[in-house]
């Protein structure tokens, strides 16, 4: 998604993203964390939070919601649960999608190298050129 394709823009297509996540926490907690992280005033932090899309609108576009109002270990547990679910859902399909392109590339290179070797062999087995008529006349006159 380019920077111009926000959910409110006309070019935004939610289906173009594979998975959409939303990290959710309360407005007060967001304010506290923003002020601590950026070392800004409450007014500046509120202005920044209010300039964002409302949470209800973000929920429309998200497939997975992570609750970020707890501790870091709770968030890590949620992420690990999602990763385990994605791995289980993917099964072996990711192996196929990662292996097929390199195998195709290797087979293509193999084919090109076989062609190159075949051409070199054919060049080496060429019959000597037929002498031109002038050389044949000279041989007949010398006899």
The string of pLDDT tens digits covering residues 54-86 is: 888 888 888 888 888 888 899 999 999 988 888
Q: What is the mean pLDDT of residues 112-133?
A: 72
**3-state secondary structure (DSSP) of residue 71:** coil
User: Which pLDDT band holds residue 16 (cuts at 50, 70, 90)?
Assistant: very low
Q: Are 23 and 66 in contact (CB under 8 A)?
A: yes
Average pLDDT value for the chain: 77
Q: Which residues contact 58 (CB under 8 A, 6 or more apart)?
A: 7, 22
pTM for the whole structure: 0.47
Distance between CA atoms of 134 and 98, rounded to whole angstroms?
A: 64
pLDDT digits (tens, 9 = 90+) for 22-54: 888 888 888 898 899 999 999 999 999 899 888
Q: Where are the domains of the chain?
A: 14-90, 92-123
Q: What CATH class has 14-90?
A: alpha beta
**Confidence (pLDDT) at 10:** 52
Query: Which position has the higher pLDDT, 82 or 99?
Result: 82
């Amino acid at each position: 998604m380019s920077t111009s394709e926000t959910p409110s823009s006309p070019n935004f297509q939610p289906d173009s993203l594979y998975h959409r996540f939303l990290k959710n926490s309360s407005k007060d907690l967001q304010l506290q964390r923003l002020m601590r992280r950026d070392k800004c005033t409450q007014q500046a932090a509120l202005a920044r939070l209010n300039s964002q899309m409302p949470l209800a609108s973000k929920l429309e576009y998200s497939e997975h919601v992570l609750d970020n109002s707890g501790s870091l270990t709770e968030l890590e547990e949620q992420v690990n649960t999602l990763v385990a679910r994605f791995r289980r859902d993917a099964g072996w399909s990711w192996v196929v999608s990662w292996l097929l392109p390199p195998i195709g590339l290797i087979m293509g290179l193999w084919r090109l190298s076989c062609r190159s070797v075949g051409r070199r062999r054919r060049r080496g087995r060429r019959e000597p050129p037929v002498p031109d008529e002038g050389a044949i006349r000279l041989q007949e006159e010398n006899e």
